[in-house]
Amino acid sequence: MSAPGRVVSISGLTKSFKTGVTALQEIDLDIRPGEFVSLIGPSGCGKSTLLRIVGDLVQPTSGTVLVNGKTAHRARLDHDYGIVFQDSVLYDWRTVSRNVSLPLEMLGWSRARRKERVREMLELVELTGFESNRPWQLSGGMQQRVSIARALSFDPALLLMDEPFGALDEMTRERLNMELLRIWEKAASTIVFVTHSIPEAVFLSTRVVVMSARPGRIADVVDVDLPQPRGAETREQPRFFELVTAVREALAAGGRGQPAPTLPAGTEERY
């Protein structure tokens, strides 16, 4: 049953809502260990739904999702997921360090082990010194870093991120993009990242999955061959712009609706 070398293995996945709307249709996608995969697409293309189905927070109508060869449900109960939402979802009644240790408490870690891990994680996201602050005393960017520290604290097999930087200003966003890449390399994790920012998707990912809307399906997959490690200069490379253009064109093609792409070359200019 298990697909070797696959963290996530999605096949024939369809999701229809009771209202009759088909959110996702016939999705096939494999994600290898250590990959950074972005899901990008217009609003309503089902990218967040797809992420939630992978995380077993939403049930698919048909098709299968395997995570490390297990069902998504089993994987969730096995604590294989770290999740970061657009909203940092920190609990006001817990200090920063107790927010980070929340999943560890649920896993039954000892106090000493939790303390040590929280220290490491806060160091990783550069928030040492804010242990006893309350979440609402931090800026939006800092809150999101706490949320990332919490998601990574228990070394989940898969990090699911649903537009984690969508609510932040451009400067904070670019800074956190760099930080996320640094963390990704250090933690050697596999990341599925939902975004609707094309440069963000290209900058971060090893692969960009371009989705089209109504019904949501995979329109194209763009391999990002930018060299690692990436930095501020990556955004200035000609290859970066080429890839941004490739994703943009794939989005435009998908936006016309399926079946695509059958229009003659050069038609893109009209859009």
Partner 1 sequence: MEPVPPGVVRAIGGRFVDWLPALAVFALGLALWQGLTTAFNVQTFLLPKPTDIATAFWNDRGTLWDYGLYTLKEAAGGFAMGCSAGILVALLLARFRGLGLALLPFAIAANAIPIIAFAPITNNWFGLLNPVSKMVIAAVLCFFPTMINTLRGLTSVHPSSIELMRSYGGGELAVFRRVRIPNALPFMFTGLKVSAVLSMIGAIVGEYFGGPTNALGVSILNDSQLFDFPRAWAGIMLASAFGIAFYAAVSVAERLTTSWHPSARTFRSE
134 binds partner 1 (CB under 8 A): yes
Nearest Cα residue to 148 out of 116, 174, 112, 123: 123
Q: How many CA atoms lie within 13 A of 193 on its CB side?
A: 29
* Part in contact with partner 1 (CB under 8 A); list of ranges 10-18, 26-34, 77-85, 242-250: 77-85
CA distance to 178, 232, 242, 247, per residue, from 199 (Å): 13, 12, 11, 9
Pick from 6, 47, 52, 145 the residue near partner 1 by CB under 8 A. 52
How many Å apart are CA 165 and CA 170, to the nearest integer? 9
Packing angle, helices 140-152 and 111-124, rounded to 10: 130
Write each residue from 186 to 225 as x if it is in contact with partner 1 (CB under 8 A), else as -, in one continuous string. Answer: ----------------------------------------
Q: How far is C-alpha 206 from the geometric centre of its chain's CA atoms?
A: 12
Pick from 4, 110, 136, 225 the residue near partner 1 by CB under 8 A. 136
How many chain residues are in contact with partner 1, going by CB under 8 A?
32
91 binds partner 1 (CB under 8 A): yes
Residues forming contacts to partner 1 in the complex (CB under 8 A) are 52, 55-57, 76-79, 81-83, 85, 87, 89, 91-95, 102-103, 106-107, 132-134, 136-139, 142, 160
